[in-house]
Structure 1
Amino acid sequence: MPDWSDLTNDVLEHITSFLALLDHYRFGAVCKNWRSVLKLRRYPPAPQLPWLVLEEEKETGKRKFYSLSAARHYYLEIPELHGRYVCGSSHGWIFAVNIKITGILINPFTRECYVLLPFPAYSKYVDVSSLVEKVPSDYTGGPRAYTFEEMQIGIVLKAILPHDPKETSGFTAMIIFGQMNTPAFWRPGDVCWTVIDSPESFVEDIIYFKGNFYILSPENMLYVVDFEPEPKLREVGQIKVEDMALE
């Protein structure tokens, strides 16, 4: 019988290029040699179906994930995500915010982590007049006021990255935050988040495509983000959605 633990590293690395995320963990459990090969990789290189990041389990603090490929839930111990609200994911990295409106950028597979600067001033972009000190214990549903912590932890509506931070020496993180979905960005080395003045009173969405960040308004007006010389939004035009008949 052949000794599979003696396969050369180049053969083992080639095998890992075809593995799904769960199979990577199983691969590393075979023996020390196979596990050492996995440490050379930052993440599974094979195309992956997305995992859904769900709520935190109250009893254990573990984060609940759902694998589309396996069609089942998994509970993972990721201490960095305890008590944090997940507001986005790009290229395998998760954005998460706590009640002090500080964020982290973490790769749950490698546990590499960036601690982000506090987000722009909360009270300037969110109306706090309707907040309550706490939710009544007899609350059973329907419209209600929110607590300060609930509003603060959800201040970031969306966060995206243009690429994996480990693939290049620098990256730009973009967010939309506050009640009016205001756009802002941060780069490693910046002393604060830079808020971008928008001609729109409300931003619908933000995406990254072929080297540029784009902002979409509720009226389907598209803007591209210009970073130099001063950050601003440049109008591209209105996206026209044609009616399509169902066949």
Structure 2
Amino acid sequence: MENWSGLLHDLLVEIAKKITCIEDFVSFGAVCRSWYAAATRENFTRSTQIPWLMLADVEQQNESERWRQFFSLSSGRIFKVILPEASRIRSLSSLGWLLTLGELKANLLHPLSRLQIQLPDLNTFQDYEEQENFVLDYVHKMVLSASPAATRDYLVMVTHGFATSLGFWRPGDASWTAVDPWESYIHDITYYEDKLYAVDVHGSVIVCDVNGPNPTQIWHNDVDDTKLRGETKSVA
């Protein structure tokens, strides 16, 4: 094609939505004005992106321009991003968003746009007072059901307390919603087809419906951990 700048805007938008690497997205927008017009933040955040790894925090002097380093899996390069909101603070991640955790405060943070979404204070969990001596490690795991950049219909799900409790928040809620606590340490959680899945250290799986006002446990599979370890028998 002789004139790439003459491509239809709608076609350029569809191409932009397919780009998964931010470096390629920046190059795409630098071609010409019409391509730049299609390279909006909204079109990039709608696509499934190759993740960056956020590296460990380093000591810095300038408080107002504190940055974090990110490693690009696609290019093998390290990028510095001014991000004081995630400096010297504990954070978890899901779908390209960070959950930043202070003594009481919790926020969702997009590290590239620096968009923040304020979440309810951690003390809205019913068991928070019992765990206040462990405030810095109160939340252990976090998973998003969908990217807040793509929809307002999403959930933030966490394990908290002594990692035997599940909780979630949806936009518009004034507090965190608790799911019935488990009896053992929850190793990991994920979200799939409108359900929250959790697995404990023994390999047991619990499935919860968290879409209604009252979360319900709909399936629980206990695993015989002796089979995981392997049984030993004495031979006479």
Interval containing the TM-score (normalised by the shorter chain): 0.7 to 0.9
Return the offset for 1:76: 1.0
Cα pair distance change 1:204/1:33, threshold 3 Å: same
1:195 aligns with 2:199: no
Q: How far apart, CA to CA, are the structure 2 residues paired with 1:88 and 1:187?
A: 17
Return the offset for 1:186: 1.0
The secondary structure found in structure 2 opposite 1:55 is coil
Look up the equivalent residue of 1:53 and give its one-letter code: M
Counterpart position of 2:109: 106
Cα pair distance change 1:24/1:74, threshold 3 Å: same
Return the offset for 1:240: 7.3
Return the offset for 1:32: 4.2
Look up the equivalent residue of 1:238 and give its one-letter code: D
Q: How far apart, CA to CA, are the structure 1 residues paired with 2:43 and 2:89?
A: 24
Look up the equivalent residue of 1:211 and give its one-letter code: D
Q: What residue ranges of structure 2 are gaps of 5+ in the alignment?
A: 229-236
Q: How many residues align?
A: 218
1:125 aligns with 2:128: no
Q: Which moved more, 1:226-235 or 1:61-70?
A: 226-235
Counterpart position of 1:237: 221
Return the offset for 1:191: 1.5
Is this contact kept in 1: 2:83–2:111, CA < 8 A? yes
How much identity, in percent, do the aligned residues show?
A: 28
Look up the equivalent residue of 1:22 and give its one-letter code: E
Pairwise CA RMSD of aligned residues?
3.0
Aligned residue runs from structure 1 range 203-222, under 5 A: 203-222=186-205
Return the offset for 1:13: 2.1
Is this contact kept in 2: 1:16–1:44, CA < 8 A? no
Cα pair distance change 1:93/1:229, threshold 3 Å: closer
Return the offset for 1:22: 1.3
Higher-helix-fraction structure:
2
Q: How far apart, CA to CA, are the structure 2 residues paired with 1:22 and 1:161?
A: 25
Q: Deviations over 1:105-139 (max 9, x none)?
A: 1233444331111113644125x3xxxxxxxxxxx
The secondary structure found in structure 1 opposite 2:55 is strand
Is this contact kept in 1: 2:146–2:154, CA < 8 A? yes
The secondary structure found in structure 2 opposite 1:225 is strand
Q: Deviations over 1:30-76 (max 9, x none)?
A: 44443321226342555433211222343252111111111222111
Look up the equivalent residue of 2:206 and give its one-letter code: Y
Q: What residue ranges of structure 1 are gaps of 5+ in the alignment?
A: 129-150
Cα pair distance change 1:40/1:86, threshold 3 Å: closer
Q: How far apart, CA to CA, are the structure 1 residues paired with 2:177 and 2:46?
A: 33
Q: How far apart, CA to CA, are the structure 2 residues paired with 1:44 and 1:191?
A: 27
1:34 aligns with 2:39: no
TM-score, length of structure 1 as denominator length: 0.73
Cα pair distance change 1:31/1:81, threshold 3 Å: farther
